[in-house]
A and B are shown apart, each in its own frame.
Chain A
Amino acid sequence: MTRRKLVADWLWPLLVFGAFAAVPAIHLSIPKVFDQPIDSPGTLALLAACLVYGGLALTYDVQFGFTGLLSFGHALYIALGCYLANIAITDWHWQFWQGIVLAMGVAFALSNVLGFVSLRVGGIAFAMVTLAFAQAGAVLALKDPHHWTHGEEGLGADYTKLPKAFVGIVNTKNLYWLALAFLALVFFAVRWAVDSSPGRIWQAIRENELRVEVLGLRPQLYKLQAFVLSSTLAAAGGIVYMLLYNGSTLAVTEPTFTLTLLLMVVIGGAGSRWGAVLGGILYTYLNNRLVAVGSSSTVEGLPHVLRTPLEQPLFLLGVVFILIVVFLPGGLAGLAVRGRPSGLRRIEAAVRPEVDAA
């Protein structure tokens, strides 16, 4: 390993994550940026949410940015981790660790089965099929045939089964560190995976699947690996999400949840670790803060035509996303590598329909 690589892959991330770990010790108010001081539970909870979404966006980027698989059903595995671990402790009164083992095991097995089926089709059809599977999961959670998920009410976690360190507002800083640990875990796992020899094949598939096949390798197998890794890490993120929000709600099961991850990855820069993480953090922060901007006094003075869109964070973020797709396909990370194809431009070949390939 060259020295430069060592610095870029290990030293920088460790420094950045180390700096983030020190955040709960900062007693400082930054007006406009945060409502409350940084070490207050409210701000730490917002930051923890940003970090979890950063990690989730990165798990999505494993299949989208690195392997060229456009999935619309990633939320299924996040919801699986979020709900199954919760159902195990709350409905079945299992121990927390048993719930974790169950959720991770089921996510691993299910992603193998569903990945195998949906990878029978490529490109856009894969997107539609993953969406359909996720929709089936969303319907199951909503209709709740076994009275496990409690449908639209959501399922509040049985806090007596959770580790004491993660329960209660005084422990928000522990949740923050947990979110950070999840993000670091995903970051280093993804770094290791995309640099391993299968990981290089994922990227080769993204660039030119036919060529990989000509080399005598089976792209399906490698795509399935990326899909399973990405989905299993997503389920782990789902468990952290459950701890952070003290339970599970239907929001994690909905197709829109996957689409917001896609927005995060593209805004930050697809196929870039820092890009996806940055996109997830920035998006979550803006999504939360824009609500405050929308109800602020400056906006309230505006005419109705201008005010209505400003009150809808998803409208603004959707427009920003469209602008980035059109004018900056490399995302924010693409700004750092000007001149080389980055982000969406590198995924193009993987999603190109057969109509043009012929």
Chain B
Amino acid sequence: MSTFVLLTLTGLGLGAMYFLIASGLSLIYGLMGVLNFAHGAFITVGAYGTWWTSVHVFDGIHSALWRWLASSLLGLVCGGVFAALVELILIRPLYARHIEQVLVTVGLQLAFVALITGIWGPDAKTFVVPPWLHETTTIGGAHIPNDRWVEIATAGAVLALLQLFLRKTRYGLIIRAGVENRAMVQALGIDVRKAFTLVFAIGGIAAAIAGVLSGVYFNVVGPDQGTSLLIFAFIVVVIGGLGSITGSAVAAVVVALVQQYTNYYSSGMGDIVVVLMLGIVLLVRPRGIAGAIVGARA
């Protein structure tokens, strides 16, 4: 029982990161039709931004908690600004040239990993976090590392904020309408390109949060960390249904839990099972679990 609780909460912590990455990918794809490979770079910017500022900017702060929070905040700002700049400089000039947009993000991702490796070396960096995060809380006989709660709570808060933003604000309305039918939104005289920059910035911030949390989860940040998380986020996006935030959230939890359980019971084959699951979903429901909503527009 205690193992099951530990696996479940660890799975949810991992699922939280998958969701944070997948939600941005899914929104960007839904609105613009761009598969954003550079999302891995956004994760890395968030993680390295936080690590760098905690070592070089906020090293004077004695409280580990405040130091971590302040540097994380700067990490998120870096992620959001970087993502918005990528959209403005690289994606916007290639408007309506989808294949080129995708390829540019692929090139950016590869070049960025190489650049990070060049500047800070291929070795992973130790991530400084408040000691409390490394302690455990006992629940149902299981010793749960405290960082799991932070990951789950953060993802829950981001999900709630995103839903609030999408349902209650004017820009949220434009984004939702754009996902449904972009041509119609433009026909109504709304400049949908502002929404493009906005979803990139939102996706960049969410990915940067995932980067910070991955630093907490794995204790280190490395140049390749973003790429490996990105692949599972892709699986989550396809299973969840492209363009659906709720679908991403459900799929992220399912994928991460299945991965954790099978990793425990069959010595590390969880990744294979997740890919098999993707194959089955494609055979049964090629549009993903939220397919009913997305399928309506095709």
Give the interface of A toward B (CB within 8 A): 70, 117-118, 120-121, 124-125, 127-129, 131-133, 135-136, 139-140, 143, 145, 255-256, 259-260, 262-263, 266, 308-309, 311-315, 317-319, 321-322, 325-326, 329, 344, 347-348, 350-356, 358
How far is A128 from B181 in the complex, measured between Cα atoms in Å? 23
User: Cβ of A317: which chain B residues have Cβ within 8 Å of it?
Assistant: 110-111
Are B118 and A120 in contact (CB-based, < 8 A)?
Answer: no
Q: Which residue of A lies closest to B117 (CB)?
A: A312
How far is A156 from B278 in the complex, measured between Cα atoms in Å? 33
Give the interface of B toward A (CB within 8 A): 29-30, 33, 35, 90, 93-94, 96-100, 102-104, 106-108, 110-115, 117-119, 179, 181-183, 227, 231, 234-235, 237-238, 242, 267-269, 271-272, 275-276, 278-279, 282-283, 286, 297-298
Measured CB to CB, the closest approach of chain A to B200, in angstroms, equals: 17
User: Cβ of A133: which chain B residues have Cβ within 8 Å of it?
Assistant: 275, 279
Q: Which residue from B100, B119, B179, B231 sits with its C-beta under 8 Å from A325? A: B100
User: Cβ of A312: which chain B residues have Cβ within 8 Å of it?
Assistant: 114-115, 117-118
Are B99 and A309 in contact (CB-based, < 8 A)?
Answer: no
Are B283 and A120 in contact (CB-based, < 8 A)?
Answer: yes
Measured CB to CB, the closest approach of chain B to A124, in angstroms, equals: 4
How far is A316 from B171 in the complex, measured between Cα atoms in Å? 38
User: Cβ of B113: which chain A residues have Cβ within 8 Å of it?
Assistant: 314
Measured CB to CB, the closest approach of chain A to B177, in angstroms, equals: 12
Are B282 and A120 in contact (CB-based, < 8 A)?
Answer: yes
Dominant SS among interface residues on chain B = helix
6 tightest A-B contacts by CB?
A: A318-B111, A353-B33, A314-B114, A315-B114, A136-B275, A312-B118
Are A311 and B118 in contact (CB-based, < 8 A)?
Answer: yes
User: Cβ of B99: which chain A residues have Cβ within 8 Å of it?
Assistant: 70, 344, 347-348, 350-351
User: Cβ of A319: which chain B residues have Cβ within 8 Å of it?
Assistant: 107, 111
Are A127 and B118 in contact (CB-based, < 8 A)?
Answer: no
Q: Which of B90, B100, B267 lies at the interface centre, i.e. has the most chain A CB atoms within 10 A of its CB?
A: B100
Are B114 and A121 in contact (CB-based, < 8 A)?
Answer: no
A132-B275, A136-B275, A344-B100 given; A356·B182 CB < 8 A: yes
Q: Which residue from B30, B98, B100, B237 sits with its C-beta under 8 Å from A326? A: B100
User: Cβ of A351: which chain B residues have Cβ within 8 Å of it?
Assistant: 98-99, 102
User: Cβ of B179: which chain A residues have Cβ within 8 Å of it?
Assistant: 355
Are A135 and B271 in contact (CB-based, < 8 A)?
Answer: yes
User: Cβ of A127: which chain B residues have Cβ within 8 Å of it?
Assistant: 35, 102
